[in-house]
Amino acid sequence: MRILVVGGGCGGTILANNLARRLANEIRGRKVRLTMLSASDKHMYQPGLLYVAFGQMMPDELYRDQQSLLEPSIEFHVDPVEAFHLDQNRVTTKSGRTHEYDVLVIATGSRIVPEEVPGLVEGSETFYSEAAAVKMFKRLREFEGGKVAIVVGVPHKCPIAPVEVTFSLHDYFKTRGIRDKVHIKYHYPIGRIHTIENVAKWAKPEFDRIGVEYETLFNVREVDVENQVVKSEEGTETEYDLLISIPPHRGMPVIERDQMGDGGWIPTDRYKLTMEGHDNVYVLGDTTNLPVSKTGSAAHFEAEVVAENISSIIKIGTPVRDYDGKVYCFIEAGHDRATYAMFNYENPPDLKAPNKSMHWFKMSYNKMYWTSVRGLL
Amino acid sequence: MSEFKTIDARNTFCPGPLMELITYMKQAEVGDMLELLSTDNGTASDVPEWIDKVGHEMISSEKVGDVWHLKVRKLK
């Protein structure tokens, strides 16, 4: 049995480590071979980018060597897939190698595409890459006051990020003693300030309290960089001195190139996590087209289900679990407080009041992630 | 294109039905028709509000059992 994992991010790594432990005897007995292909020899803790953008973490704290995170029984290659041949159960890679499989797991993740909005690259700061987060922090340090606008592309990774960056901006300028010189305006694509109703109900009075203006039904159409105006699909405009963007995302180019899913999102069974039409292909994390959050948390819970099912299929011939849509997201609420949203397909999140304990738990998790991604937590 | 592309946003809280519709609308071509399935009652008012404001066409909205079926056409 050849199991091939494509993608060495959060979901792929948790899955591979989980499988390596569940199938340790089979791998040792050469009945199972577990291989991972990744585009990088480094693993990034992506939620840390928000902290880099506010000078609270250094970029080198975000990385570990991918090989060091993997069980020794996993065969690891830095060699991204260039083409999927699903009808022949094989992939070809950048180096020209072919890998055949019996079971394939696709966990290639997503990428930002700010270039799809005219002016967004030149006109805005963001924190969705290391370079961008460092640049954003330098820009914030230089900022002495004026109009700050926050805009949100669709779809985007980490749905909590828009409110978190808003609270962080308020805190940052307050700490610098210039909050009274900064006007913050938040823009959101749908008709309330967050897609999760209970988050919107909680965040709205918080925004009112800290003096953040908001405009809803604002889908960013273009940025007039010269005149510093951001325009919406809905026909409204906002002037800015500093524009912060959550960029729109797409799946990886290879997914679109091989016509495996519009936008790079692979059609996936929401319970089995198999690719539609391919029972031996599983899809994890951002790569799916599922109506669940694009977060490491979703990838984590999905990975546990897929690992358990691949293992049980090998051991007893049948899967044993369905994915229930579980997601758990920390929410940094500013002023060293945090809360969380936990939900699944059936149960909406029931938000608790933010407190300092949750903030320090999140700060601890920023370190504990490396235990989590090894599949130990 | 004469058929509806179905977006299954039943039993989802994040990103939610309207955010799903916006995602698929961005991928669609002008003239494409989409059908959004949602179990969230708020969708029945949220979607027409956005469609009207952004300038697409609301074709129909009906509840069948527990599921809202909202049909829209991309106009720009």
Check pLDDT > 50 for residue A357.
yes
pLDDT for B72 equals: 97
> Is the CB of residue B4 less than 8 Å from the CB of residue B37?
no
- Residue positions counted in chain A: 377
CB contact under 8 Å between A293 and B15, yes or no, is yes
Residue B17, burial from CB neighbour count under 10 angstroms (0-12, 13-18, 19+): buried
Q: String of b and e for A241-277 (b: at least 16 CB within 10 Å)?
A: ebbbbbbbbbbbebbeeeebbbbbbbebbbebbbbee
Between vectors from CA A331 to CA A329 and to CA A337, what angle results, nearest 5°? 140
Interface of B with A in 16-75 (CB under 8 A): 16-20, 22-24, 26-27, 42, 46, 49-50, 53-55
Could you tell me the two tokens for B19?
Answer: 């955010």
pLDDT at A93: 98
List pLDDT tens digits, range B35-71: 999 999 999 999 999 999 999 999 999 999 999 999 9
- At residue A375, the pLDDT reads 83
Q: Which domain holds residue B57?
A: 4-73
Query: Which residues of B are catalytically annotated?
Result: 14
Asked if residue B1 has pLDDT above 50, the reply is no
Residue B2, pLDDT > 70, answer: no
With a pLDDT cut of 70, the percent of chain A lying above it is 100
Mean pLDDT score of chain A, rounded to an integer? 96
Amino acid at A158: C
- By DSSP bridging, strand A182-187 and strand A146-152 are parallel
CATH number of B56's domain: 3.30.110.40
CA distance A196 to A189: 13
Q: What domain count does chain B have?
A: 1
Cβ–Cβ gap B12/A291 under 8 Å:
yes
pLDDT in tens, A145-199: 999 999 999 999 999 999 999 999 999 999 999 999 999 999 999 999 999 989 9
Q: Which two tokens stand for residue A13?
A: 């790594």
Give pTM, 2 decimals. 0.95
Q: B45: distance to nearest CA of chain A, Å?
A: 10
Domains of chain A: 2-109+252-327 (3.50.50.60), 115-248 (3.50.50.60)
Around Cβ A345, how many Cβ atoms within 10 Å?
20
State whether A155 and B50 contact (CB < 8 Å).
no
**Edge-first strand listing for the sheet containing A103-106:** A75-78, A33-38, A2-6, A103-106, A278-283, A274-275
Distances (CA, A) of A247 to A21, A70, A127, A250, B63: 37, 31, 9, 10, 34
Contacts of B12 in chain A (CB under 8 A): 291-292, 325, 345
| pLDDT, tens digit (0-9, with 9 covering 90-100), for A222-232 | 999 999 999 99
Cβ atoms within 10 Å of B22's Cβ, excluding its own: 21
Q: CA A240 to CA B20: how far, in whole Å?
A: 28
ipTM for the whole complex: 0.93
Q: What are A92's two structure tokens?
A: 């070809």
Check whether A377 has a pLDDT greater than 60. yes
Interface of A with B (CB under 8 A): 154-155, 159, 189-191, 195-197, 217, 219, 233-235, 248, 262-263, 270, 291-294, 325, 327, 341, 343, 345-346, 348-349
Residue A129 buriedness (CB in 10 A; 0-12 / 13-18 / 19+): middle
Residue A148, classed as helix, strand or coil, is strand
Residue A338 CA to residue A336 CA, distance in Å, equals: 7
Query: If you count residue pairs, one on A and one on B, with CB atoms under 8 Å apart, how many are there?
Result: 75
Nearest by CB to A191, which of B9, B49, B55? Answer: B49
Contact (CB<8Å) B22/A348: no
* A277-299 residue pLDDT tens: 999 999 999 999 999 999 999 99
**pLDDT value for A335:** 82
With an 8 Å Cβ cutoff, are B23 and A154 in contact? yes
> Who wins on pLDDT, A375 or A103?
A103
